[in-house]
Amino acid sequence: MLAASASLFNVKVVILDVGESAPAKQVIAPISPTHVDGTFADPPKIRELADKADVLTVEIEHVDVGALEAVQNVPRPTLLAIHLSPATIHTIQDKFRQKEHLSSRGYPISDFPPFEPNEESKRAAAHSEHKVAWLRRCRIFVGERNTISKVLQTDLGAQVIKT
């Protein structure tokens, strides 16, 4: 964690997270300015954090990118540096966009056809002999199980059942 290393060099660190016992807040004691209690998706809390800092480091992709862009463009005496940049986080948040980005730069990745859950995709999956993994593009948490679906043919047409 960046905060633990920074504290060894007496760098003042302010943390945005929910609750006084959030993991990062347990590593770094509150100093002046104090930590911010809130979520990464709360624009007013992101602004409050930005008001207390010269550099924002984002160590999780589930943050409000629009709020980061807004605080980055606010006139202030010193430029607010944000790492990773809001544009990079925006790319990372959408796994399809991320794969397009990596593919366009020559990185070897698996095929990734776009997928929209609609009647056509249900019919296509119904003809498959295998389970179908429907992976979400956005708001995927590390270790979170994506929906594994089995499509059954019924008299009413294709029906998606979670397994």
Distance of CA 68 to the CA centre of its chain: 13
Q: Report whether pLDDT(29) > 80.
A: no
What pTM does this model have? 0.72
Give the residue carrying structure tokens 């925006």.
90
52-77, pLDDT tens digit by residue? 999 999 988 889 999 999 999 999 89
For a pLDDT cut of 90, what percent of the chain falls above it?
37
DSSP structure string for 109-135: ---------SHHHHHHHHT-SS-EEE-
Q: Dihedral of CA 137/18/4/54: which sign?
A: positive
Q: Report whether pLDDT(51) > 70.
A: yes
Q: Which residues contact residue 28 at a Cβ distance below 8 angstroms, ignoring those fewer than 6 apart? A: 3, 4, 7, 13, 15, 35
Reading the block at residue 114, the tokens are 């776009």
Q: Report whether pLDDT(140) > 70.
A: no
